[in-house]
Chain A
Amino acid sequence: MVKLVIDNLPIEVEAGTTVLEAAQELGIDIPTLCYLKEVNVIASCRICLVELEGHRNLVAACALPAAEGMVIRTHTPHVLYERKKVLELLLSDHPFDCLTCFRNLNCELQTLAQEFNIHGLQWEGERNVFAVDDLSPSLVREPSKCIRCRRCITVCRDVLTVSIYDMQGRGFDSVQGPAFNDSIQDTPCTTCGQCILVCPTAALHEKDDTDKVWTALQNPDMHVVIQTAPSIRVSLGEEFGMPQGELVEGKMITALNRMGFDKVFDDCFGADVCIMEESTELLTRLQGNGGPLPQFTSCCPGWVKFCENFYPEFMPHLSSTKSPQQIFGSLVKTYYAQIAGISPDKIFSVSVMPCIAKKFEAAREEHQDSGHRDVDAVLTTRELARMIRMSGINFADLPDGKFDSPMGYASGAGVIFGASGGVMEAALRTLYDKLVGGEIPEEDLEKVRSFNELREAEIHMGERTVRVAVARNLGEARKLCDRVRNKEAEYDFIEIMACPGACTGGGGQPIYSNLDKWSLQIDLRKSRARGLFEADSQKKHRKSHENPYVHKLYEDFLGEPSSARAHQLLHTEHKARPLYTNRGDYAGDKVEHRHYREEHNLLH
Chain B
Amino acid sequence: MIAGYLARDTVLHRIPVYIKLLALAGVGLTLPFIQAIWPLVIGLALVLATYCACGREALRRLKFLRMFLLVLITIAVIQAMTTSWLAGAISVIRLLIMILMADLVTLSSTMQAMMDALQPVLKPFRYIGLNPRKLALAVALVMRFIPFLLAIWRERDEAYRARTGRKANWRLIAPFLAETLRLADKVAETLDARGIGTQHKGSQ
Are these two chains actual partners, yes or no? no
Interface residues of chain B, those whose CB is within 8 Å of chain A, are none
